[in-house]
Amino acid sequence: NVEKLPGFAEGAWWVQDLAAALPARLLGPGEGHHVLDLCAAPGGKTLQLAAQGWQVTALDISKRRLDLLKANLKRTGLKAGAVRADALTWEPKHQFDAILLDAPCSATGTARRHPDVLHRIGARQIEEMAELQSALIERAQGWLKPGGTLVFATCSLEREEGEDQAAAGVLPVAPIMAEDLP
């Protein structure tokens, strides 16, 4: 039981999959700049961004998942603003230096831990997720300050939910290699 391991209750650490930690690392140190963690809950990336010095606004539509995020913030002593809203209708009060969009997806990249995903997900679900992602990307781009950075992440292996989003011209693409990570 993870909650019983030394340091967990005191907030010395949190559990996060290695791959899930990569998107926030791409943004590097925040040095007090503002970042929007879009589709943020349950909050591993929010915690990571706050620990990297960002002023974080964490937005998610799910009350239950946002409650987990708030509990993790309280436990770790890290600070972030939590907003429950639908990103397709929400309007921020200001623009952000960076946005991390961990987009809803088909989750086909989680097949190692959830092999059933390969039997549950079909072309229709992938197409629906890709459409939602495109809409989220378009909205998020309007919330960035000039010269700001948008990190788009999914746990999908489907081209429609990754490479095709960039090829559509919505996202300017700069390839990131492991050695480029801070």
Task: Give the N- to C-terminal CA distance of the chain in Å, as an integer.
Answer: 31
Among 95, 90, 109, smallest CA distance to 162 is for 109
DSSP conformation letters of 102-129: E-----GGGTTT-TTHHHH--HHHHHHH
Distance, CA of 32 to CA of 78 (rounded, Å): 13
Q: Select which of 40, 59, 126, 155 is catalytic.
A: 155
Torsion of CA 182, 20, 133, 136, to 10 degrees: -60
CB atoms within 10 A of CB 174: 9
Please indicate whether residue 155 is annotated as part of the active site: yes
Q: Residue written as tokens 């969009």?
A: 101
Annotated catalytic sites, by residue? 155
